[in-house]
Amino acid sequence: MKYARLTKEQFEELHQEFINFLATQSITADEWKKLKAEKPEVAEQELDIFSDLIWEGVLTKVKYLEHISPKQLMLFHITDAFMELIAIKVEAENIDITTKYGYKWLQQNLHDDSVSLYTSTKAITEDRNKDIFVLIQQGSVITKGDLYNYFGDLLRE
């Protein structure tokens, strides 16, 4: 398995897609029930293959990721060749940028001495999707890039 097995909830959401996947393998509903009962290891393999297919499809479309913690904001823009990072670290005591107040404070105090801004660009490895998956496993979430573009524009001013 290249990525991670989908959760029970994700399989439930993708129920119809899973049925279609089984159909492409010429597995009927009755055959699936029999497979789960008599050859659970083969059924597990089918679940893993389906999970990897779904992850591949999702990861291929990712252009932006965000990882937000109380003192740090990491914003990623991912192209086919590069991963660009805008990282913002807040050292001010009592500021938690995951709160509405803390985020507003950050916007108003971006040039404060207690705020550090970093940018970085890194070449994507041979397996772009695996690079993205590792960041997701570490807590990043897929976004439309609003924060990346907002802070990117501020840094270019």
Q: How would you list the strands of the sheet with 72-78, edge to edge?
A: 115-123, 82-90, 72-78, 64-69, 141-143
The tens digit of pLDDT for each residue in 124-155 reads 988 899 999 999 999 999 999 999 999 998 88
| Helix 128-137 / helix 40-61 crossing angle, nearest 10 deg | 100
What band does 5 get if pLDDT is binned at 50, 70 and 90? very high
Ordered by start, the domain boundaries in the chain are 8-61, 64-156
Q: Average pLDDT of 42-47? A: 92
Please tell me the distance from the alpha carbon of residue 106 to that of residue 11, in angstroms, as a whole number. 39
Residue 5 exposed, middle or buried by CB count within 10 Å (0-12, 13-18, 19+): middle
The reported pTM is 0.84
At 144, list the tokens: 């439309």
Q: Is the predicted pLDDT of residue 51 greater than 80, yes or no?
A: yes
At 27, list the tokens: 């597995």
Q: Is the predicted pLDDT of residue 43 greater than 80, yes or no?
A: yes
The tens digit of pLDDT for each residue in 74-84 reads 999 999 889 99
Q: What is the dihedral of CA 7, 8, 10, 15, to 10 degrees?
A: 140
The DSSP output letter for 94 is T
Q: Average pLDDT of 79-98? A: 93
At 89, list the tokens: 């670290």
